[in-house]
Structure 1
Amino acid sequence: MDLLFEYSLFLLKLITYLILIFIFIISVSYFFKKNIKKKYKLKIKSISNFYNHIIDISFKNKIQFNKKNFIKHTKWDYKKPILYVLSFYGDVHASEVSHLKKEISIIISIIQPNDEVLLKLESFGGTVHEYGLAASQLQRLRNHNIKLTVVIDKIAASGGYMMACVANYIYAAPFAIIGSIGVIGQIPNFHRLLKKNNIDMEIHTAGHYKRNLTMFGENNDHHRLNFQKKLNITYKLFKDFIFKMRPNLNIEKVSNGDYWFGITALKKKLIDEINTSEDVILKNMKKFNVISIKYIKSRNIFNNFILNFLKKIFTILN
Structure 2
Amino acid sequence: MEFLYEYGLFFAKTITFVLAFAAIIALIASSAMKQGSKKGELEITDISEQLHDIEHEMNHHLLNKEQLKEKEKQEKKQAKEKEKADKAAAKKQADGDDLAHEPKLFVIDFKGSIDAKEVSSLREEITAILLVATDKDEVLVRLESGGGMAHCYGLAASQLERIRQAKIPLTVSVDKVAASGGYMMACVADKILSAPFAILGSIGVIAQIPNFNKILKKNDVEFEQLTAGKYKRTLTMFGENTDEGREKFVEEIEEMHDLFKAHVSENRPQLDIEKVATGETWSGKKAIDVGLVDVVTTSDDYLCQASKTSKVIAIKYATKKGLAEKFSKAASLSAESFLGKLWQNNRIFPS
Scaled by the length of structure 1, the TM-score of the pair is 0.77
**Larger fraction in helix:** 2
Alignment partner of 1:81 is 2:103: yes
Alignment of 1:189-208 (within 5 A): 189-208=211-230
Corresponding residue for residue 265 of structure 2: 243
Corresponding residue for residue 190 of structure 2: 168
- Checking the alignment, whether the CA contact within 8 Å between 1:81 and 1:113 is kept in structure 2 is no
Alignment of 1:127-138 (within 5 A): 127-138=149-160
1:110-138 alpha-carbon deviations (Å, 9 max, x no partner): 11240110100000000000000000110
| Residue type of the alignment partner of 2:192 | I
**Larger fraction in strand:** 1
| Residue type of the alignment partner of 2:134 | Q
The match for 1:116 among 138, 148, 160 is 138
1:46-79 alpha-carbon deviations (Å, 9 max, x no partner): 11131799xxxxxxxxxxxxxxxxxxxxx89565
SS for the counterpart of 2:168 is coil
Distance 1:92 1:29 in 2: 34
Structure 2: 5+ residue stretches without partners: 1-13, 54-82, 90-99, 331-351
How far did residue 43 of structure 1 move? Answer: 0.4
Alignment partner of 1:258 is 2:280: yes
| Residue type of the alignment partner of 1:225 | E
Question: Structure 1 residues 158-167 or 38-47, which shifts more?
Answer: 38-47
- Checking the alignment, whether the CA contact within 8 Å between 1:85 and 1:118 is kept in structure 2 is yes
Distance 1:217 1:261 in 2: 41
1:123-157 alpha-carbon deviations (Å, 9 max, x no partner): 00000000000001101111111110000000000
Distance 1:199 1:25 in 2: 49
The match for 2:301 among 279, 303, 313 is 279
- Checking the alignment, whether the CA contact within 8 Å between 2:35 and 2:320 is kept in structure 1 is no
| Residue type of the alignment partner of 2:302 | V
CA RMSD of aligned residues (A): 3.1
**Greater Rg over alpha carbons, structure:** 2
Distance 1:204 1:181 in 2: 35
Distance 1:25 1:173 in 2: 53
- Checking the alignment, whether the CA contact within 8 Å between 1:45 and 1:52 is kept in structure 2 is no
Corresponding residue for residue 156 of structure 1: 178
Alignment of 1:21-36 (within 5 A): 27=25, 31=29, 34-36=32-34
Q: 1:236 to 1:155 in 2, by over 3 A?
A: same
Count, aligned residues? 273
The match for 2:163 among 115, 119, 141 is 141
Alignment of 1:12-51 (within 5 A): 27=25, 31=29, 34-38=32-36, 39=38, 40-50=40-50
Distance 1:22 1:192 in 2: 53
Scaled by the length of structure 2, the TM-score of the pair is 0.70
Distance 1:21 1:260 in 2: 62
Question: Structure 1 residues 271-280 or 282-291, which shifts more?
Answer: 282-291
- Checking the alignment, whether the CA contact within 8 Å between 2:134 and 2:168 is kept in structure 1 is no
The match for 1:288 among 306, 310, 314 is 310
How far did residue 108 of structure 1 move? Answer: 1.3
How far did residue 298 of structure 1 move? Answer: 3.7
Alignment partner of 1:224 is 2:256: no
Distance 2:22 2:251 in 1: 55
SS for the counterpart of 1:155 is strand
| Residue type of the alignment partner of 2:278 | N
1:227-276 alpha-carbon deviations (Å, 9 max, x no partner): 00000000000011101100111111111111011000011110001000
How far did residue 89 of structure 1 move? Answer: 0.2
Distance 1:259 1:152 in 2: 14
- Checking the alignment, whether the CA contact within 8 Å between 2:135 and 2:167 is kept in structure 1 is no
How far did residue 26 of structure 1 move? Answer: 7.8
SS for the counterpart of 2:153 is helix
Structure 1: 5+ residue stretches without partners: 1-15, 54-74, 312-318
Alignment partner of 1:209 is 2:207: no
Q: 1:100 to 1:52 in 2, by over 3 A?
A: farther
Q: 1:158 to 1:22 in 2, by over 3 A?
A: farther
- Checking the alignment, whether the CA contact within 8 Å between 1:46 and 1:52 is kept in structure 2 is no
SS for the counterpart of 1:183 is coil
How far did residue 34 of structure 1 move? Answer: 4.3
| Residue type of the alignment partner of 1:122 | E
| Residue type of the alignment partner of 2:274 | E
Corresponding residue for residue 297 of structure 1: 319
Distance 1:298 1:91 in 2: 19
